[in-house]
Amino acid sequence: MSVGNGPPSFQVDLGNASGPHPELSLKRRLVYNFVSQYVIFSLFFITDLIILLSSMGASIWIRLNFLRWLPNVVGPEQYVQLLYGVVALPFAYALAGVYPGYGLHPVERLRRRTLVTTLVFVILIFWEFLVRREASSRGILLLTYTFALLFVPVGDAILRSFLRKVNLWGTPVVLIGTDAARTKVLRRVLEFQDLGYVPVCTLSPDEASLVRDGFPGVHTAIVAYLPEEREEVLSLLPSLRYGRVLLVEEREGVQSLWVTTRDLGGTLALELKQNLLDRRNRIVKRLMDVLLGGILFLVSLPLILLLVALVFLVSPGNPFFVQEREGLGGRAIRVWKLRTMYPDAEARLQKYLESSPEAYEEWNRYFKLKHDPRILPGIGHFLRKTSLDELPQLWNVVRGEMSLVGPRPFPFYHLEAFDEEFRELRRSVLPGMTGLWQVSARSDGDVERQRLLDSYYIRNWSLWLDVYILALTFFVVIRGKGAY
């Protein structure tokens, strides 16, 4: 997922969504004529193998040069056994379906890769325990495992991004449905290009019924429909000649991750795993907050003290900004931040909004301003761009008032822009230091975008989604995208 990959690299006239789209698919179809999907498979396989071998080499180098004090003697048998595991991993990834992984959500790809990597290294360590060789180094195994967990997903993301840029990423699909449903799904397919669905033709149900043999080289069809159109559109299924058919019912507010199909006596059933209702998941999430949040708080404490001094030098006064926000169950919590604004920030804001209709409109839409007169020069902009002003909220996380990942704790005036049903949904979870909105839109997302992303996070929550968001947060902060 990634969620929100930026503007599509091609444009479609959504007002006329039926029929082939030469401007959308010409480059792609030319590529498919000359580049076999086996080549794409091989690129992922080779990339992972190179990263894994590099991880192994780096681990051996670190062990021999920096961990000489470890008691075990490392011999060539250790390297050979580890090499077997490293070479086996890309084959295991392939069996897990991540090559190339068209249609898989980024969170699901991360989950599969992590589980496969962990399983292979557990087997290697268990084998080491059984054979009990003197020439053994579990340290090399653990280092290689750690590097694999960190860098294999990064290499995967970089390769996918490169393939998208050179129009080599994706599998051709035919989009079938009535105008309204087809247009909505087409827009989503183009927005979330990471899924790898490339529409080469869109058809109405009547047109689809006339195309009996499908299209050459196209093995996937996406059938979209509104709830009231279900019976009409589903009656087409027996006549469709595609190896894979995706049924998409346009219905907002329904969970889409962690859904499994079941056969209920010949009737299709969907099993929704509502992870937040499982007490064990909430306990694990809290443990992750305490352990990781506590470590990060202790590590960042010297940096926080340094930033406190810099804020005080630029603007004497309390270097912290404390504001009541809405927390779990609607309870008011005091959220801590480093102060990035002048003490008279509210008066400055009011004066600026009264003098600028454009700024007034921007504020009502985003509750943020790109050119905010309240922000301290230099240090204020730096803290907001790097999100370092949020570091004191690690204390809120340790206290159990916030989580590392969750919907952001908006000010009460911001919450007034949302309907009560959505506010009640937000109250069901702890607010977070980072969230899906931060890594997808950050300050560029308007109120409606915030509502959609927070709703998606809460309904589709899992520990894997939290890990994915934490990883993306690092890259978003480094790039400084959407921050002002």
Neighbour tally for 189: CB within 10 Å: 22
Measure the CA–CA gap between 281 and 275, rounded to whole angstroms: 7
Out of 34-48, 368-382, 396-410, the most confident range is 396-410
Q: pTM here?
A: 0.83
Q: What is the mean pLDDT of the segment spanning 416-424? A: 89
What angle separates helix 37-66 from helix 76-95, to the nearest 10 degrees? 150
Cis link prior to 100 (omega < 30° from 0)? yes
Question: What residues have CB less than 8 Å from 269, skipping those under 6 apart?
Answer: 261, 262, 263
SS3 170: coil
The Cα-based distances of 128 to 47, 92, 139, 205, 461 in angstroms read 27, 20, 12, 59, 37
pLDDT tier for residue 10 given thresholds of 50, 70 and 90: very low
Instruction: List, in order, residues 6 or more apart from 118 with CB less than 8 Å away.
Output: 145, 149
Q: What is the mean pLDDT of the chain?
A: 84
Confidence label for 25 from pLDDT (cuts 50, 70 and 90) = very low
Q: What is the pLDDT of residue 27?
A: 46
- pLDDT for residue 12: 33
Residue with tokens 């969170």: 107
CATH of 14-25+168-251, one of 1.10.357, 2.30.29, 3.30.870, 3.40.50: 3.40.50
The confidence score (pLDDT) of residue 91 equals 96
Cα–Cα distances in Å, from 134 out to 68, 69, 111, 141?
Answer: 16, 16, 35, 15
Segment 128-144, tens digit of pLDDT: 777 666 555 677 888 99
Is pLDDT of 22 > 50?
no
14 contact partners, CB below 8 Å, separation of at least 6: 183, 186, 187
**Model pLDDT for residues 140-175, shown as the tens digit of each residue:** 888 999 999 999 999 999 999 999 888 888 888 999
Indicate the pLDDT class of residue 394, thresholds 50, 70 and 90: very high
Calculate the CA dihedral of residues 161, 164, 165, 167 and round it to 10 degrees.
160
33 pLDDT above the threshold of 70? no
Over residues 410-423, the mean pLDDT reads 86
Q: Is 164 exposed, middle or buried (0-12, 13-18, 19+ CB in 10 A)?
A: middle
C-alpha distance across the termini of the chain, in Å: 25
Segment among 49-53, 217-221, 477-481 with least mean pLDDT: 477-481
Kind plus residue range of the DSSP H or E element containing 197:
strand 197-203
- Residues written for the chain: 484
pLDDT digits (tens, 9 = 90+) for 85-132: 899 999 999 999 999 999 999 999 999 999 999 999 999 888 877 766
CA contacts within 13 A on the Cβ side of 475: 10
- Is the predicted pLDDT of residue 259 greater than 80, yes or no? yes
pLDDT at 480: 67
Given this model, what pLDDT does residue 70 score? 61
Amino acid at 217: G
Strands (DSSP E) along 341-439, which ranges? 403-405, 432-434
Instruction: Indicate if the pLDDT at residue 253 is higher than 50.
Output: yes
- Of the pLDDT bands very low, low, confident and very high (cuts 50, 70, 90), residue 35 is low
Domain with CATH 3.40.50 in the chain: 14-25+168-251
The position carrying tokens 């840029």 is 165
Instruction: Tell me the mean pLDDT in the region 329-341.
Output: 91
pLDDT confidence band for 5 (50 / 70 / 90): very low
Calculate the alpha carbon distances from 286 to 48, 258, 283, 335 in Å: 33, 21, 5, 18
8 A C-beta contact, residue 235 and residue 190? no
